[in-house]
Amino acid sequence: MIAVVGGGQLARMMQQAAIGLDVGLRLLAEGRDVSAARVVRDPLVGDHRDLSALREAAQGCAVLTFDHEHVPTELLRTLEAEGVACRPGPDALVHAQDKAVMRARLVELGIPCPRHAVVADAAALDAFADSVDGYPVVVKTTRGGYDGKGVWVVGSAVEAADALSATSATVELLVEEKVEFVRELAALAVRSPSGQQAAYPVVESVQRGGTCVEVTAPAPGLDPDLAVHAQWIAMRIADELDVTGVLAVELFETPDGRVLVNELAMRPHNTGHWSIDGAVTSQFENHLRAVLDLPLGDPSARAPWTVMVNILGGTVGRLHDGYPHVLARDPGVRIHLYGKSVQPGRKVGHVTVYGTDLADVRARARHAAHWFDGSLGDHSE
Ligand code: ADP
């Protein structure tokens, strides 16, 4: 049995992989109706900040792993002292929880990052902007951000003062140069406690408003040396931080052919969803194998191109209404709905198409996702 903290779509897709391996999941979910609680047997309902709920989830399980990175590290330390194997452990996980800690460690390791500083007031922010050739700069809360929440582009000293007065005085802010990237990439590595690693092909991800909308595997036209370098960065970080399970490294590709690390996630990641249908072993199966310290599966792609498009909540309330059209039009589309209620912009599912012609694969994946979300018109009547 594996205990999984958090009942989102990542835990739901772990369940799918767990079935094939005949591994049981014990879920600690936020509520009875959340995405994973609809598919995992006998979920516990409780809070991830409640030690007794975490203890109950871990009871009798070989290991404890996560759907999100929000479990306080001090609770994980207590669990570890009580003999629970937390994978990843608190010393690794803190780098996915706190962007300032992550930046400091990566700099120590010599991993290329955007220029940055931790600032407490508008004067410090302004001084940083001066040191990187001026505004705009990117301001981030060090903790608690996701899908672009907690990230602002700040265009002037006046905006900087506004941004600082809008955040609570206790929040620490990270300020970064605004990278003029060519595109965003992601490198996913999976690492087991005994140190085996598997690296997935480096992908291109497209973000809109801070949310991932589309992923192409492998990243089209990426220089093979840069791809290997990005995989090496992910594997090096996984080793140095002693990450167990999936590590996703979000990267910026710069016009002069370098990559800079944007951020880290230590759990299956949206940029790896393509692997369910498009790789020999999915990120979810490899995450489970890794946390159990079993040999990892082959991360290679099955086809020259795989495109994953997220279904974001739009105008259509009942996603299943999209089935007659999508399924009839294209029997090659792979569909994953997360069992979540539709809210604007919320990730409620994804589709994947793979094949040999990138333009064709991409067009088909986009059509299916946009039919579901209603951006091709509301077809629910
Ligand atoms: P989150 O924790 O919400 O995922 P990120 O740090 O990944 O936040 O930032 C969200 C998005 O904002 C990124 O995917 C990227 O598009 C943009 N972004 C973040 N940092 C920078 C930066 N230093 N320069 C340019 N764009 C950035």
pLDDT in tens, 199-248: 999 999 999 988 999 999 999 999 999 999 999 999 999 999 999 999 99
How far apart are alpha carbons 347 and 342 in whole angstroms? 8
HSE-CB at 69 with a 13 A cutoff on CA atoms is 28
Instruction: Identify the pLDDT of residue 69.
Output: 95
Cα angle, residue 63 at apex, residues 60 and 67 outer, rounded to 5°: 115
Domain architecture of the chain: domains with CATH: 2-86 (3.40.50.20), 115-177 (3.30.1490.20), 183-373 (3.30.470.20)
Task: Give the position, in ligand 1's atom list, of the atom nearest the Cα of 212.
Answer: 14
Residue 379: pLDDT band with limits 50, 70, 90? low
In the predicted model, what is the mean pLDDT of residues 113-141?
A: 93
Which tens digits make up the pLDDT trace of 189-198? 999 999 999 9
Q: How far, in Å, is the centroid of ligand 1 from the Cα of 173?
A: 14
Q: Give CA–CA dist 80/59, Å, rounded.
A: 12
314-322: average pLDDT: 88
| Predicted local distance difference test score (pLDDT) of residue 160 | 82
pLDDT of amino acid 150: 83
Cα→Cα distances 355→43, 179, 216, 311, 364, Å:
37, 33, 12, 20, 11
Paired sense of beta strands 305-312 and 347-355, if any: antiparallel
pTM: 0.96
For residues 138-156, give the mean pLDDT. Answer: 85
| CB-defined site of ligand 1, < 6 Å | 114, 138, 140, 145-151, 176, 178-179, 184, 207, 210, 250, 262-263
The β-bridge relationship of strands 25-29 and 2-5 is parallel
Q: How confident is the model at residue 255 (pLDDT cuts 50, 70, 90)?
A: very high
Distance 210 CA to ligand 1 centre (A): 7
Given a contact cutoff of 8 angstroms between Cβ atoms, the answer to whether 32 and 58 are in contact is no
